Structures are given as C-alpha cells and as structure tokens.
Amino acid sequence: MRAVVQRVAHATIHVAETCVGTIGPGLLAFVGVALADGPEDVRRMADKLLHLRVFPDADGKMNRSVLEIEGELAIVSQFTLLGDCRKGRRPSYHQAAEPEVACKQLDALVEALRTQGARMATGRFRAHMRVELVNDGPVTLLLDTSGVFQFISAYENRYLSRFDLRAHVRLRARAPGGAPNDLRSRRTRRRRHGRARQSFVGRSAPLHGRRAQRLG
C-alpha cells in the first residue's frame, strides 16, 4: 500500500459539482493499493498515518501527530501511485490491485482510522475527483508498506552501483531486519577471495628470468 501524505491547512474534494469531503488542519493522503496488499498493510498504513509526528509543538518542532492536535484526515484513492514509468511513455499499472479488491482495502483503512478516533473525510472510489488543498509547510511524505522508500544505509550503498535497486528491494523483502542475501553472498565471496589472495602472496614462488638475475 502506497501513499503520498501532505500536511494541509485545509482540503476539499469535489465529484462533479458536489463537495463530497472537506477537512481543516490535518493530513491529506492519496492512497494506492498494490496487488500483494493485505490486512497487515492496512494496519501498518493506518498506524503510520495516525502517529506521524509532522505537526509543530510549542517549540516549533515537528513533534506532534494528527491525533495530538485533534486534526482531521482525508483519504483519496489514487491507483496511479502504482504506475510504472520506467519503460516507454505510457505508465503501466500492472502492480495495482483490481478495483474490487482495492475498494475493500481502502474501506478497511478508513474503518481502521475511524475506530482509533480519527475525524475523517473521503473521496469517492473510481470517480473523477477534483482535490483542492493548501499544503502547510510544505510538508509532503512518501509511505509504502512494502519498504520501497526505506532508507539505504551508507554501508549498503557501496554495493548498489553493482546491482539494480529493484533487486535490492526484493532481497530486502526476503531478508527483513538484515542485509540482503545478495549483499551477504558478495561480502562472503570478497572475504574468501581476500584470504585466498593473501595465502597466494605469502607463498615462496621460484624466481625466473631477469627478476632472478637482478636479485642474484
């Protein structure tokens, strides 16, 4: 599940000429549902939206959540967040969930937010909407429950010039909490190669030709 989250002073959602939702200070989230998303993705996204510390405290630091300021949340469905623009000029949406599945997941997300006390506004699924907003800051964040936008450490970044970032993300998903399997294997091969090279250099090889004459 992917979201673009904006801190807003206010936002309004229109379908045709009808206002279907409006909020004051709070968060506006454009949300796209991926093929592999399930209940755990819904739970994680709801928890993140409710507890992101992006609102200023008394010292002006972003240290408060939307719940703490008693703000509002607006959820707008946007499958185009799953668009793949790497090839050609027409985005591919093969990673987006089917409309029936996506609608259920978005309903579950809205319900999870409401049960935790959030004041909500929503768009209308599969409708052509006009969203008007005033971004306060501006503050805009990218969220993805699959970890696509996760931080890559400086240690791992040394290896990324040699393999594709997409492969890095896939390997991260297979090995949560640690370095990707491919990184482990690369480090292992380098250590073994280093030991083999040291042992070779340490051997006393016979000298031949001009080098033997100079040393002699």
Catalytic site residue from 12, 79, 122, 145? 79
Whether residue 80 lies in the annotated active site: yes
- Please say if the pLDDT value at position 76 is more than 60: yes
Residue 211, pLDDT score: 52
- Please say if the pLDDT value at position 67 is more than 50: yes
Tell me the CATH class for 2-149.
Answer: alpha beta
Exposed, middle or buried by CB within 10 Å (0-12, 13-18, 19+), for 66? buried
Q: How confident is the model at residue 175 (pLDDT cuts 50, 70, 90)?
A: very low
Average pLDDT over all residues of the chain: 81
Say if pTM beats, i.e. exceeds, 0.75.
Answer: no
Alpha helices in the chain (DSSP H): 39-51, 99-115, 154-157, 165-174, 181-202, 209-215
Average pLDDT (182-208) is 56
Residue 146, pLDDT score: 86
**Domain-by-domain residue ranges, the chain?**
2-149, 150-203
Residue 148, pLDDT score: 73
- Please say if the pLDDT value at position 151 is more than 80: no
Catalytic site residue from 12, 78, 122, 145? 78
